[in-house]
A and B are shown apart, each in its own frame.
Chain A
Amino acid sequence: MVKIIYDKNAKTVATRVAYGNALADLGDKYNFFVLDADLSGSTQTAIFGKKFPDRFINCGIAESNMISVAAGIAASGVPAFASSFAMFACGRAYEQIRNSVAYPELNVKICASHAGVTVGEDGATHQFNEDIAIMRSMPQMTVVNPADATEAYAAVEAILNHYGPVYMRLGRFAVPVVFEKESYKFELGKGVVLADGSDVVIFATGIMNAAALDAREMLKAEGIDAAVVNIHTIKPIDKEIIIKYAEKTRRIVTAEEHSVIGGLGSAVADVTSEYCPTRMARVGIEDVFGTSGKAAELLDYYNLNAKGIVNKVKSLF
């Protein structure tokens, strides 16, 4: 079982920082290129760029070209990581990802930072809450959304060892470290049980895992025994664990820093509606655009917090 070190005093690290460090560490062991589009300081690819300048390519502010260049590098036999903000890496370059990367099944890892509303002050034009929906509807695409710095760091090597297109979602905001680094093993496509429970299961992805653990404590005080399962791989999704917990608890709440349309909530409903119809409620962005504000304020503003999860859980009783 995974060792959770999360508590009220947990240190906070952004998943993008773990990504940057992982690239730089893995560069000694593996041959791959890293591409960025003038945001290497923000996406943290600059750490790799400084250490391995011959394998780092700054493409300037031209994300469409960056994705197709990455495809060309991969078609020449070397994996390529391509990073920018989610809005641009996935939003702007959607069609390049589809036709130059996913359809030819090339070994390109699109690692998109600043996803969700926790971009913060930049506001709606930079807050991408639809990327999981878009990427998971694409054939041959794997979609990963790490919970914390530990998981993000481990996921980089895991996706590098998995041949094919991957979309990995990373955040700007420093979030609590949930997992112990030394013992953590990342298994692509496998849900991770953070806590067992019998009354309801909370399927959380990304930074909502910490909130889900807080919600579990709050629910315990009210006599509700909640399981918490981390779904870091949204596609291919871990059907078994979803079915197992749906059947066990008969109540599901999903929690994601993403639109309630097309993301984890939809992915879980895809499974349960077909195999084990189960009442569920979704915590996420309610089909609206974001707005400027501090990341922490925005999480509260959109009810992407423990209280938001608790309220949704109670709505099922």
Chain B
Amino acid sequence: MNREKLLCLDEAAAKIRCLAMEAVYNAESGHPGGSLSIAEIIAYLYFEKMNIDPNDPCKPDRDRLVLSKGHTCPALYSALALKGFFPVEEIKTFRHLGSRLQGHPDMNKLPGIDMTTGSLGQGISAACGMAIKAKRCGDKYKVFAIIGDGESQEGQVWEAAMFAGHYKLNNLIAFLDFNHLQIDGDVREVMNPTPLDKKFEAFGWYVQVIDGHNFEEIENAVNNAYASDKPNVIICNTIKGKGVSFMENNAEWHGKAPKKEQYELAMAELEAAYERAKENRKNG
């Protein structure tokens, strides 16, 4: 990945984190931890890889993203706003009565949302549906999905894994946000879903394990996935709450909003990171 591209993506991810935090704070509820852990994945997809058009959000040949871990939509909404699918100011309405930015993504309310999600395990199956439709109809689009490590405790994830392996859905690329934490604590203590790589491999998937905060690793993995003849899972080692020191690796921040002082502290860190990223990009 060339340096210019890398710096642009750094800036996008930093801005996504700022907006996601703003969304959760204004909603007085939501899921900051997992939104922060997927910022690079989302930034890469929306600012680099996906064939999408904010002026034609439903164009038939677009690439799709199904955010199977739908509760982390603040990151997705932020990327969509920055791409111009809707005004950035609308981020402040997240979870408010009458807002298009529902607590979990609603494909009929907000442009750019490819699938309504929120109930864990269902999004990955819907992504399989989009992928098999494309294969059977000769469509060229790719289907991306983001699933959680906690989500992988849902049996439906493995029904979908079996399905995708059986039908060799190599146009499906799932990112598994392996941030190690769910509401009740460490995923391995609550209900151990590991080894995730071996499980997906056993179902016939092409498995890659990367640092989910590293754009070069994300890009290499996606390029490898484009050349694979199997469904793809990219297991992304991530840090829950990434970018806010007191939220990092802390399950407490799975699903609650910061209070005013906490928000100010969080934003100071996130905005400083954004300013640095912006400066870096300007300086090349």
In the complex the two chains form, is A99's CB within 8 Å of B133's CB?
no
Specify which of A33, A55, A65 lies most central, judged by the most chain B CB atoms within 10 Å of its CB. Answer: A65
Beta-carbon contacts of B107-120 to A below 8 Å, as 1s and 0s? 11000001110110
Stretch at the interface among B75-83, B157-165, B206-214, B255-263: B157-165
Interface residues of B (CB under 8 A from A): 60, 64, 66, 106-108, 114-116, 118-119, 121-123, 125-134, 136-137, 139, 155-156, 159-160, 162-163, 166-167
Does A64 touch B at the CB level, under 8 Å? yes
In the complex the two chains form, is A59's CB within 8 Å of B163's CB?
yes
- Residues of A43-86 contacting chain B, CB below 8 A: 54-55, 57, 59-60, 62, 64-65, 67-78, 80
Residue in A closest to B118 when the chains form the complex, CB atoms: A99
Does A96 touch B at the CB level, under 8 Å? yes
- In the complex, what distance in Å separates the CA atom of A57 from the CA atom of B137? 13
A-B contact count (CB 8 A): 101
In the complex the two chains form, is B132's CB within 8 Å of A57's CB?
yes
Contacts of A103 in B (CB 8 A): 116
Interface residues of A (CB under 8 A from B): 33, 54-55, 57, 59-60, 62, 64-65, 67-78, 80, 95-96, 99-100, 103-105
In the complex the two chains form, is B162's CB within 8 Å of A62's CB?
yes
In the complex the two chains form, is A72's CB within 8 Å of B162's CB?
no
Instruction: Summarize A's interface: helix, strand, loop or mixed.
Output: helix
Contacts of B131 in A (CB 8 A): 72
Knowing A59-B163, A104-B106 are in contact, say whether A72-B133 is a contact too (CB < 8 A). yes
Residue in B closest to A57 when the chains form the complex, CB atoms: B132
In the complex the two chains form, is A100's CB within 8 Å of B116's CB?
yes
In the complex the two chains form, is B108's CB within 8 Å of A75's CB?
no
**4 shortest interchain CB distances as A-B pairs:** A72-B129, A68-B125, A65-B159, A72-B126
Q: How far is the CB of B167 from chain A (nearest CB, A)?
A: 8
Q: How far is the CB of A101 from chain B (nearest CB, A)?
A: 10
- In the complex, what distance in Å separates the CA atom of A169 from the CA atom of B172? 33
Contacts of A70 in B (CB 8 A): 129
